[in-house]
Every structure is written in C-alpha cells, then in structure tokens.
Amino acid sequence: MKNYRRLIFIFSIILLCLFVSKCTKDEETEAERKERLTNEFNSEISADSLRSVVTWLQGMSTRFALAGNRRVVAINLKKRFERLGYSGCRLDSFMSVKTYRNINYQYWQYNVITSLQGSVYPDSVCIIGAHYDDILTTGDPFTVAPGANDNASGVAALFEIARVMKKENYSPANTIEFIAFGAEELGLLGSFSYSNNAKLNQKKIKLMLNNDMIGYQPSMNKAEWVVNIIDYDNSHNLRKEAETLCSRFTSLKTNNNNTYFKQSDSYPFFVNGYKALFFMSAGSDPYYHTLNDTVEKYNYEFCREVAKLSCAILIDKN
C-alpha cells in the first residue's frame, strides 16, 4: 500500500510538471504578442489601398490651404475615417494669417483627428500624423495642386494603418491619435496649433510619428530602398529603436539625414518638448511642388514598407 501511494504521488507530480510546462510553453510573452500583431497587421497593409487613397486625394483637384474648398477637403477626410468605423472624428479648427504672393489672407484651417482609446493609459497618447495640404512653386495652386507624394502618400499611410487597426479591433495600451494636419505648407500651422495647445494643457504625448513624402522610389530593386528617419535632440533613442524595427519588419534600409528636420509637422512637437520622428524617402523627388506630382509617378510597394515601419513602432509602444 505504501508503494502504491508513493507511485500515485510521483505520478501526480509528473502530471503537474507536464501541465505547468505546457502552460508556460503556450503562454505568449509580451514580446511574442507584439511580434505576432506586427506581422499580422503589416501583412494587411496594401500597396493597392495606398495608391487608391492617393488617387482619391489627387482627385480633389487642389488641397491648397488657401483655396475655397479647404473645409470641404477636411470634411471629406473626416468622413473617410468615419467610413472606416471611427466615431468621435473631429475637425480641430485654428485661424491662419498668411501673406501669399503679396496678398494677405486670414482663414480658418482644420486638423482632422480621430483615435483609438487606450485600454491601460488612455491619457497617454501616441500620434501618427501627415499633412494633407499641398502647394506649387509655379502655377496656380488655387485651381490645381495634385500633391500625390507631397503629401497624399503620408496621408495614405495614415488611413491604411487606421484601417488595419480598426479591422483587427486593436486595443492599444495608450491612446493612438490619427491626425491629418492642415496648412503645413503655410508654415507648419496645423501642427504648431495642435502641439502648442497640447503643451499648454500638459497633454501626455508619448511620441509623434510623421510621414511626409514617402512615395518616391524610382527603383524596383528592393535592395536599393532607403527610408530617411529624421530625429531630434530628444528622440535619438527612439530613432535607434525604429531602425531596429525597420530591419526586423520591413525590407528597407535606413538613413539619418536631418537636413529637413524643421520642414515638416514633427518639428513643432519637438519645439514643445515631445519626442518625434519624421519618415521620408531618401531620394530627392524631382516633381516636388509641381503639377507633375501625380499618382502614377510613385512606388506604392515602397510606400507600403514605410507604412509598415510606422505600424511596427505603434505596436511596439503599446
């Protein structure tokens, strides 16, 4: 009887060990969860969808911030977020005073904002943004300003990541705000308005990711594809983390040329003390601010890879 009880005890211990071992093996670590989600979400980011958004934006004829259709453009962006299933989308209005070609203008402008509520830290915010306005060096931007690469490409990445996250019912730890900024071409007016107010109200912004001109890549050889990651004095470590994620989850190489660090919507966030990164194509776009900045000129497989990087960072930080 004693031996029988001993065997039962030993057998019970073995079963318990096997059960604990299986549970440990089956239990997904936080790192594994983030890697799985990143791979799943990135597999759904579509080059065709990106091109479709760029085509849609170009079809508005002009997105010049001083043109008469500026509010209509903003409302169209808001409605597109709503069609993706986002509620609480809003126009964040701000006044712009601008002298353009010797004429003074004073107009309301609009940032377009929607969000995924954070499940753990709802008052902590990760921002992904892109400006939606365009301008021309020559010609009449009041009539036509196609702005496919500058910056329908960045807005397309914004919408595509928002689409995938909503489709997958993603619940981030921190709130994610998707922001289409207005009047960037008039002096970063939309991002200064937003970030100035954020600082004034002591808003907790964990990071800001800015996509601007991410479609230009004439080569179809992926070995030549490079994304430029612009960082700031307070975001060098964030840039290094982005480089690591880029090598893990995209086919892109990275560059860190900060020549244009003041020339897009990430800069006002840095000025106000927030960590920001700015993604753009490493190559110089010959169609910049011209009527030739049109949808057929750009590489949407490359654009997809840059969008995948932003998505990977958002998941990593949530």
Evaluate if residue 19 carries a pLDDT over 80.
no
pTM: 0.92
Instruction: Summarize the confidence of residues 211-226 as an average pLDDT.
Output: 97
Q: What confidence category does residue 44 fall into, taking pLDDT thresholds of 50, 70 and 90? A: very high
Q: Is the pLDDT of residue 6 over 90?
A: no
Structure tokens at 211: 């996509």
Cα distances from 177 to residues 8, 11, 47, 50, in angstroms, run 58, 54, 23, 19
Task: For CA atoms 277, 278, 279, 283, give the dihedral sign.
Answer: negative
Burial of 34 (0-12, 13-18, 19+ CB in 10 A): middle
Assess contact for 136 and 83: CB atoms under 8 A: no
pLDDT at 68: 97
Dihedral of CA 246/247/251/257: which sign? positive
Q: What average pLDDT is seen over the chain?
A: 94
pLDDT score at 27: 80
Token match 């990711």: residue? 209
What pLDDT score does 88 carry? 93
Q: Residue 18 pLDDT > 60, yes or no?
A: no
Write the DSSP string, 10-36.
HHHHHHHHHHHHHHHHHSPPHHHHHHH
> What stretches of the chain show up as alpha helix (H) in DSSP?
2-26, 30-44, 47-58, 70-83, 153-167, 189-200, 236-249, 266-271, 300-316
Task: Reply yes or no on whether the pLDDT at 168 is more than 90.
Answer: yes
Average pLDDT over residues 24-46: 89
Q: How many CB atoms lie within 10 A of CB 91?
A: 16
Identify the CA nearest to 307 among candidates 287, 281, 271: 281
Query: For 169-182, how does the pLDDT look when each residue is reduced to its tens digit (9 = 90+)?
Result: 999 999 999 999 99
What are the tens digits of pLDDT across the range 253-311?
Answer: 999 999 999 999 999 999 999 999 999 999 999 999 999 999 999 999 999 999 999 99
Residue-level pLDDT at 111:
98
Cα distance from N-terminal residue to C-terminal residue, the chain: 57
What pairs with residue 39 in β-bridges? none
> Is the model's pLDDT at 22 over the cut of 70?
no
**What is the arrangement of strands in the sheet containing 90-100, beginning at the earlier edge strand?**
90-100, 103-116, 174-181, 121-131, 204-211, 276-281, 226-230, 253-255
pLDDT over 90, % of the chain? 91
| Half-sphere exposure (Cβ direction) of 110: Cα atoms closer than 13 Å | 18
